[in-house]
Amino acid sequence: MSLGGTASYRDPARRGDLPDLVSSAVAAAEAVGFEFCVRPEIGRLLAALAGGVPPGGSIGETGTGTGAGVAWMQSAAHPETRIVSYELDEQRAAAAQRLFEDHHNIEIVCADASELFGRGPFDLLVHDGGPGSGKHPSDELVDPATVLTPGGTMTLDDVTPAVTWPPTFRGEPDEGRLRWLTHPQLCTTEIRVAADLAVLVARYLPSG
Ligand SMILES: C[S@@+](CC[C@H](N)C(=O)[O-])C[C@H]1O[C@@H](n2cnc3c(N)ncnc32)[C@H](O)[C@@H]1O
C-alpha cells in the first residue's frame, strides 16, 4: 500500500507532468478521502510495462482504488489492450467506473479481487490490493501458470527496498518477498523507484 500516495501528487516537484486521467483519478481520490493512490514513481513503471503489452493483450489489477494505476497504464497501453481491475470498496469502484466509462477496453468491477484470477491469463497482472500476492504469511501467491501468459509479467507494489540477502522484514527473512524471488517459474527482480519504495517485477517463464 502506498502510504501517502495520494498526497504525493500534491507536490509538483515530486509528481512531474501527469496524464489527464491520472489527475482525474487523484482528484476523485481526494473527493472521497482515499489516501492510497499509487505513487507517481510506480505509476510510470506500470505505464512502461503496460506499453509493452501487445495489441489485443490483457492487463489485470487487484485493488483499483479510484483508478490512478489504471489511468497510468491506459496512458501507454495500446487502445485495444483490455484492462480489468477489481475494487471491493463501492465508492472507489464507482468513481473509477465513471472515470473510464468512455473507454470500451477498460472494465472496473466492484467485487473481491480473487474473482479476477479466473479471467486470465494476463500479459500483465498488477497486485495492489486483496489476495493472491503472497505478501503476507497467510496469503498464497497465485499460480503464475493459471494467471499469466507465457512470458507474462506480474508486479507487487510498495515494498521497502531490500538491502540484504535474504531480504528481511522486522529482522526475519521476508517470506512474502522470497516467494517471488525464489519461485522456480518466475524470473523476479526488485526495482527501486524511489529511495523508500520498490516494486517486485516478475516474468513467468514456464519450464519444459
Ligand atoms: C493501495 S490501494 C490501490 C491503489 C490503486 N491501485 C491505485 O492505482 O491508486 C488498495 C486497494 O485495494 C482494495 N482492496 C483491498 N482488498 C481487496 C479485495 N479483496 N478485493 C478487491 N479490492 C481490494 C482497497 O479497497 C484499496 O482501494
Q: What is the pLDDT of residues 114-150, one digit of tens each?
A: 999 999 999 999 999 999 999 988 899 999 999 999 9
CATH number, domain of 164, equals 3.40.50.150
Q: Indicate whether 2 belongs to any domain.
A: no
DSSP 162: P
**In this predicted model, what pLDDT tens digit does every residue of 66-99 receive, in sequence order?**
999 999 999 999 999 999 999 999 999 999 999 9
Strands 197-204 and 148-159, sheet pairing: antiparallel
Which residue range forms the structural domain that includes residue 121?
7-204
User: Distance between CA atoms of 113 and 139, rounded to whole angstroms?
Assistant: 13
User: Distance between CA atoms of 148 and 20, rounded to whole angstroms?
Assistant: 30
Distance 93 CA to ligand 1 centre (A): 9
Q: Indicate whether 169 belongs to any domain.
A: yes
Distance 84 CA to ligand 1 centre (A): 13
Task: Kindly state the cell numbers that stand for 124.
Answer: 500483465
Q: Indicate whether 12 belongs to any domain.
A: yes
**pTM to 2 decimal places:** 0.96
Give the max Cα distance, the chain: 50
Number of domains comprising the chain: 1
